[in-house]
Structure 1
Amino acid sequence: MDLPRSFVVRERHHRIHNPIDEVKLAVLGRALQLRPGTTMLDLACGSGEMLCTWARDHGISGTGVDISTVFVEQARTRAVELGVAGSVTFVHDDAAGFVAAEPVDVTACIGATWIGNGLPGTIELLERSLRPGGLMLIGEPYWREEPPDEAAVHGSGIANKNDYSDLPGLVESYGKLGWDLVEMVLADRDSWDRYVAAQWLTVRTWLDENPDDELAPDFRAELDTAPLNYVRYQRRYLGWGVFALRKR
Structure 2
Amino acid sequence: MAGAAREPLDGVRHGEEVEDLRRRLDHVPNRNAGAPRRAPGVGWRHGRPPPPVRHPRERPPHPRPLHAREARPPRPVLGLADGDTILDLASGSGEMLCTWARDHRVGGVGVDLSTVFTDAAVARSVELGVSDRVTFVQGDAATYVEEYDGGPVDVASCLGATWVGGGVLGTIDLLARVLRPGGLVLVGEPFWTTVPETEEAVRGAHARSVDDFATLPALVRSFGDHGWDLVQMVLADPDDWDHYAAAQWLSTRRWLDAHPGHELWQEMRDELDEAAYRHVTFTRPALGWGVFALLQR
**Band of TM-score, shorter chain:** over 0.9
* Superposition map of 1:8-87 within 5 A: 11-13=13-15, 14-15=26-27, 16=43, 17=47, 18-23=64-69, 25-28=71-74, 31-87=77-133
Give 1:5's match in structure 2, choosing from 4, 7, 10.
Answer: 7
3-state SS, counterpart of residue 154 of structure 2: strand
Structure with bigger helix share is 1
Contact between 2:156 and 2:185, CA under 8 Å: does it hold in 1? yes
Q: Deviations over 1:131-157 (max 9, x none)?
A: 111100000000112223222211111
Give me the CA root mean square deviation.
1.9
Contact between 1:2 and 1:67, CA under 8 Å: does it hold in 2? no
2:155 maps to which residue?
Answer: 106
Larger displacement relative to structure 2 (2-11 or 194-203): 2-11
Aligned residues: 248
One-letter code of the match for 2:251? T
1:205 maps to which residue?
Answer: 254
Larger displacement relative to structure 2 (205-214 or 37-46): 205-214
Query: Offset at 1:45?
Result: 0.3
1:244 maps to which residue?
Answer: 293
Can you give the 5+ residue segments of structure 1 that lack an aligned partner in the other structure?
none
Contact between 2:160 and 2:188, CA under 8 Å: does it hold in 1? yes
TM-score scaled by structure 2? Answer: 0.78
TM-score scaled by structure 1? Answer: 0.93
One-letter code of the match for 1:68? S
One-letter code of the match for 1:40? I
One-letter code of the match for 2:106? I
Query: Offset at 1:185?
Result: 0.8
Structure-2 separation of matches of 1:182 and 1:112: 21
Structure-2 separation of matches of 1:194 and 1:30: 28
One-letter code of the match for 2:296? K
Contact between 2:113 and 2:141, CA under 8 Å: does it hold in 1? yes
Can you give the 5+ residue segments of structure 2 that lack an aligned partner in the other structure?
16-25, 28-42, 48-63
One-letter code of the match for 1:94? D
Structure-1 separation of matches of 2:244 and 2:74: 17
